[in-house]
């Protein structure tokens, strides 16, 4: 039975925004209890509470769907649909009271992302898109930038914090882009990076060591905003492949080739 992707998306956007507003208030009103999952990999009591709330709300919307969620509050897997959830993308920023940090929610139908929602708490901005639909920001359609060359591009990236296997080649790529572009930005949230590619604030983004909940929603939003997304080999293994390149369609090929030169 077909579902209405737009209807689902708009409802998820409302859920994400309402949850994000509550999250910001909770952070302001209560102290943060930090648990370290691994080196530089933190979780707070809010990550788990927000994820559990999202699991309950999304289950009510689509009871047959399963979950791929960062904090593992549900191990249910759906035969057709699965929600991909990051309750706080940018937890280290969140701990320190620094923006951006985001709630990221995607819906996968089989292996395809069909709904993507990112709510960035600091600026009260909700980015969202659905299959065959538009990419939106707070009700207004968005598009990727028109930068046509890397030399004219502002580039976002994320620094590795647990996987340093490619660190030397990654540092070489930073040096190249610092010298050959408008500059580099590291925001601390891959979801925000992708949302900002989608709305044209940055022209391209790349990172490795990523998880499905970091990128699933943002990848769809970039694509529906007119951009391109791939893994470092130029293929579509970016959801589960731990690496991603995203850019507007004009600069994508050049950016892809340079990134692959260093990191493939």
| Same domain, residue pair 105 and 177 | no
Confidence of residue 212 (pLDDT cuts 50, 70, 90): very high
Under the banding of pLDDT at 50, 70 and 90, the label for residue 43 is confident
Same domain (yes/no): 32, 52: yes
Mean pLDDT of 122-148: 98
The Cα 196–Cα 211 span in angstroms is 19
Tell me the C-alpha to C-alpha distance, in Å, between residue 80 and each of 83, 207, 216: 11, 29, 16
| Number of compact structural domains in the chain | 2
Global pTM value: 0.95
Q: How many CB atoms lie within 10 A of CB 7?
A: 12
Residues 257 and 137 in one domain: no
Q: How far apart are CA 126 and CA 117, in angstroms?
A: 7
What helix, strand, coil percent values describe the chain, rounded to 5? 40, 25, 35
Contact 89, 192 (CB under 8 A): yes
Domain that holds residue 64: 5-141
| Whole-number percent of the chain with pLDDT over 90 | 83
Q: Which of 101, 116, 141 lies at the terminal end of a domain, its last residue?
A: 141
135 and 159 in a single domain? The answer is no
How big is the chain by its Cα radius of gyration, in Å?
A: 17
Residues 165, 59, single domain; the answer is no
Whether residue 99 is found in the same domain as residue 22: yes
Reply yes or no on whether the pLDDT at 81 is more than 90. Answer: yes
Residues 134 and 167 in one domain: no
Q: What SS3 class is residue 104?
A: strand
- Asked whether the predicted pLDDT for residue 38 surpasses 90, the reply is no
Do residues 42 and 35 make contact, with C-beta atoms less than 8 angstroms apart? yes
Domain termination residue (choose one: 108, 141, 174): 141
Task: Indicate whether 137 and 159 sit together in one domain.
Answer: no
Q: What is the pLDDT of residue 246?
A: 98
Same domain flag for 108 and 12? yes
Q: Are residues 198 and 103 in the same domain?
A: no
Q: Give me the percent of the chain exceeding a pLDDT of 70.
A: 97
Residues 235 and 113 in one domain: no
Helix (H) / strand (E) element for 134: namely none
CA torsion sign, 67 to 98 to 200 to 190? negative
CATH number of the domain bearing residue 83:
3.30.540.10
105 vs 31, higher pLDDT:
105
- Supply the mean pLDDT for the chain: 94
pLDDT of residue 1: 67
């Amino acid at each position: 039975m077909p579902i209405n992707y737009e209807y689902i998306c708009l409802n998820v956007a409302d859920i994400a925004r309402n949850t994000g507003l509550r999250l910001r208030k909770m952070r302001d009103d209560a102290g943060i209890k930090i648990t370290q999952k691994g080196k530089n990999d933190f979780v707070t009591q809010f990550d788990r509470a927000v994820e559990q709330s999202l699991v309950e709300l999304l289950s009510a919307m689509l009871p047959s769907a399963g979950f791929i969620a960062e904090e593992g509050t549900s191990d249910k897997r759906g035969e057709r649909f699965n929600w991909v959830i990051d309750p706080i993308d940018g937890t280290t920023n969140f701990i320190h009271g620094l923006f951006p940090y985001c709630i990221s929610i995607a819906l996968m139908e089989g292996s395809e992302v069909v709904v993507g929602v990112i709510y960035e708490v600091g600026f009260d901005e909700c980015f969202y898109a659905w299959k065959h639909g538009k990419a939106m920001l707070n009700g207004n359609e968005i598009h990727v930038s028109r930068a046509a060359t890397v030399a004219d591009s502002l580039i976002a990236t994320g620094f590795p914090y647990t996987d340093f296997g490619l660190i030397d080649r990654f540092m070489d790529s930073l040096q190249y882009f610092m010298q050959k572009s408008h500059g580099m930005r590291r925001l601390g949230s891959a979801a925000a990076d992708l949302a900002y590619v989608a709305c044209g604030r940055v022209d391209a983004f790349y990172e490795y060591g990523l998880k499905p909940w970091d990128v699933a929603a943002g990848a769809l939003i970039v694509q529906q905003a007119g951009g391109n997304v791939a893994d470092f080999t130029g293929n579509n293994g970016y959801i589960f492949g731990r690496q991603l390149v995203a850019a507007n369609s004009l600069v994508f090929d050049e950016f892809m080739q340079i990134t692959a030169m260093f990191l493939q």
